[in-house]
């Protein structure tokens, strides 16, 4: 269906071009090399239509992270959303221990102190995101800038220092619902493909994420990068 619509768009464009330039085209056809010139013109029209159609599928080039400066009073609200004065909003609901006689938050913090990467894995509704955000807030209060991976944003390898995006040297990346994001990224399209047709229209999120984190490590140093990710362990996404 999409290919059929593309053909219609091409023919409509050619017809409009001919009607608007009828005298010039007729002169080209009757002159030497006119058919070659006309063929070149039609080729350029088709190429332009394909580029326009491709551009409509490509998202805008925006920064993929919500940058939350150290000691932010509104970290939870910026991640969870909701109004500040809404007592039922997620960011206003007090944290509660989920397992008797265990402090899950401290256990996760200890893991992150021993390893720069932490993956919180569990079923839907278990509270993975809340645990991750609570831990991110803890490090944010200790002076870390939190880079929260915003939903629906294209992640690419950074070409500039985090300072240009408001980030300081210590960066904590918060990647929520990661395996679902990786699955849905198959339908994401590369903004660079609008500028250069040779660019791939899609690059797997896991590849872009790894390259981006390695680049941030180059900017800041490995000891200045922490990653907290959550993922569902159900087979159904």
pLDDT tens column, 169-182:
799 999 999 999 99
* Class of domain 65-232 (CATH, top level): alpha beta
**Pairing verdict, β 171-175 and 145-149:** parallel
Separation CA 8–CA 19 (nearest Å): 16
| Edge-to-edge strand ranges of the sheet holding 117-122 | 65-68, 145-149, 171-175, 225-232, 117-122
Domain ranges of the chain: 2-56, 65-232
Mean pLDDT of the chain: 78
Q: Are 72 and 158 in contact (CB under 8 A)?
A: no
What is the rounded distance in angstroms from the CA atom of residue 57 to the CA atom of residue 53?
Answer: 7
200 band by pLDDT with thresholds 50, 70 and 90: confident
* Residues facing 20 on adjacent strands: none
Q: How far apart are CA 204 and CA 61, in angstroms?
A: 17
Task: Give the Cα separation of 217 and 224 in Å (integer).
Answer: 7
Contact 223, 169 (CB under 8 A): no
Q: How far apart are alpha carbons 191 and 217 in whole angstroms?
A: 24
More confident residue, 228 or 20: 228
Taking residues 86-94, what's their average pLDDT?
75
Query: Among 185, 151, 173, which Cα is nearest to 229's?
Result: 173
- pTM of the predicted structure, to 2 decimals: 0.70
**Predicted pLDDT of residue 31:** 58
Q: Is 186 helix (H, G, I), strand (E, B) or coil?
A: helix
Return d(Cα 119, Cα 121) in angstroms, integer: 6
Helix 2-20, helix 34-56: angle, nearest 10:
130
Is the pLDDT at 73 greater than 50? The verdict is yes
């Amino acid at each position: 269906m999409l290919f059929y619509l593309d053909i219609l768009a091409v023919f409509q464009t050619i017809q409009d071009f001919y009607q608007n330039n009828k005298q010039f085209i007729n002169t080209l056809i009757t002159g030497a090399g006119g058919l070659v010139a006309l063929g070149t013109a039609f080729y350029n029209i088709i190429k332009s239509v394909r580029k326009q159609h491709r551009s409509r599928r490509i998202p805008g080039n925006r920064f993929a992270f919500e940058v939350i400066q150290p000691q932010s009073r509104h970290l939870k609200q910026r991640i969870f959303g909701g109004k500040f004065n809404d007592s039922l909003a997620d960011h206003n609901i007090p944290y509660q221990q989920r397992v008797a006689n265990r402090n899950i938050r401290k256990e996760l913090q200890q893991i992150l102190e021993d390893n720069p990467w932490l993956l919180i894995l569990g079923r839907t509704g278990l509270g993975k995101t809340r645990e991750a955000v609570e831990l991110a807030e803890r490090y944010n209060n200790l002076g870390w800038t939190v880079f929260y991976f915003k939903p629906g944003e294209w992640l690419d390898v950074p070409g500039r220092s985090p300072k240009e995006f408001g980030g300081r040297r210590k960066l904590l990346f918060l990647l929520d619902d990661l395996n679902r994001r990786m699955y849905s990224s198959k339908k994401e399209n590369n903004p660079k493909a609008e500028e250069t047709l040779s660019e791939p229209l899609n690059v797997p999120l896991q590849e872009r994420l790894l390259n981006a984190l390695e680049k941030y490590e180059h900017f800041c140093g490995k000891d200045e990068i922490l990653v907290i990710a959550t993922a569902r362990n159900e087979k159904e996404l």
